[in-house]
Amino acid sequence: MSKFKDIMSKFKDIMSTVWVKIKWVAAKVWERFKSKNFGFYVALAAWLLTFVHMITYSQIGKVGEGLFHPGVIISCVIALVAFLVLAWFKVTSKLAPVVLMVSSLLCLFFFANSSNFQDFFSTKFFEGFSFNLLFSLGVPLWFSLFSFLISFVIASAAMYMPQERKPKTADPICEDIPSPDNV
């Protein structure tokens, strides 16, 4: 019985240590989110849209044969990971939306380069284009097409917005004047 108590005591110590580490990491992540500016959150919307269109594009094989291209999924995965890495650091946070913008453009190119893209769309829209016909093609197809474009536009807009908040100084007038200690 004492062996069981020793094991449970060690388990409790380990779990309390793990819980403290989880709280520390959560506090650091929350601190980083608070230091971000509006542009980061716009880019985060593009990141979320990239994640969603990666999931929906994986189902595109059910809509049309030969419309799936693995480059779309690979591009999305690389962009999702690269965005998180670049956005974490203050120095590289300006580049994070650029990765999403390039990825969305690559996704559109890969999608247009799929094996039956031209055949599929030329037979579907042979008699003319209409939005009614486009939306009848299936959710993965039209959602992927529009989300590539919307993600590109959102990431392009976020690229020109500030990603990090500027540190607040005590006196904005004396900001550029060097202190006597540094002279």
User: For the segment 148-168, what is each residue's pLDDT rounded down to a tens digit?
Assistant: 899 999 999 988 887 777 766
| Cβ proximity of 56 and 62 under 8 Å | no
**71, exposed or middle or buried, with CB in 10 Å at 0-12, 13-18, 19+?**
middle
pLDDT tens, residue by residue, 77-90: 999 999 999 988 88
Residue 48 pLDDT level (bands cut at 50, 70, 90): very high
pTM for this model (two decimals):
0.69
What is the structure's pLDDT at 178? 59
